[in-house]
Amino acid sequence: MTINYTRISALIFLLLFLVYSYLAGEIEVFVFDEDADFNARTFPKFISYLGIVVSFLTLVLSKNENEKLGQYEWLKVFVLFVLVFTYGIIIKSVGFFLSTNLFLLVSYYYLGVRSYKTLLLCSFPVVAGLQFMLHGLLDVYIRDPFLQFLGVIS
């Protein structure tokens, strides 16, 4: 097995997901939620297990091709990192609905999607559906000043 950039990346992600899995197990859960089918630990554990499996498979099954470091678009990676960081900062003050839609719209546009119909259909319904599932079906409260102002959530 030769070492290439794909395997190095897969190893880094494998280590990150192992740490994330450990930290997800440390999430405190209310006493009455310990035996519930879905609690605060469920989704983070699922994401960590999925990440471990995918990164391990990538580590083992990647081909031995010579990769050039210059073939990657590092500027796009950096800009998306800045967008994710900015999203993490503004979500608390702006709210989930507006900040997530703004993040998705800017990210899609930056990555090359120019059709406004596609931009709008891939962001607003997805975020609205996720907001409905979290708030309406699972009773997970997400602070959202914009939706509170509109009277959609209390």
pLDDT for residue 66: 67
What is the Cα–Cα distance from 39 to 110, expressed in whole angstroms?
35
- Residue closest to 52 by CA, chosen among 22, 81, 29: 22
pLDDT for residue 135: 82
- Residue closest to 119 by CA, chosen among 102, 132, 131, 133: 102
Residue type at position 9: S
What is the Cα–Cα distance from 18 to 15, expressed in whole angstroms?
5
pLDDT for residue 100: 93
What is the Cα–Cα distance from 120 to 127, expressed in whole angstroms?
11
Spell out the per-residue pLDDT of the chain, length 154, in tens. Answer: 677 788 888 999 999 999 999 999 898 888 877 778 888 888 899 999 999 999 999 988 887 666 665 666 878 989 999 999 999 999 888 888 999 999 999 999 999 899 999 999 999 999 999 988 888 888 777 778 887 788 777 6
What is the Cα–Cα distance from 12 to 24, expressed in whole angstroms?
18
pLDDT for residue 92: 85
Cα–Cα–Cα angle for 95, 97, 99, nearest 5°?
65
pLDDT for residue 101: 94
What is the Cα–Cα distance from 87 to 90, expressed in whole angstroms?
5
What is the Cα–Cα distance from 131 to 35, expressed in whole angstroms?
25
Cβ–Cβ < 8 Å for 142, 134: yes
pLDDT for residue 71: 66
Sign of the CA dihedral with 85 first, then 125, 134, and 53 last: negative
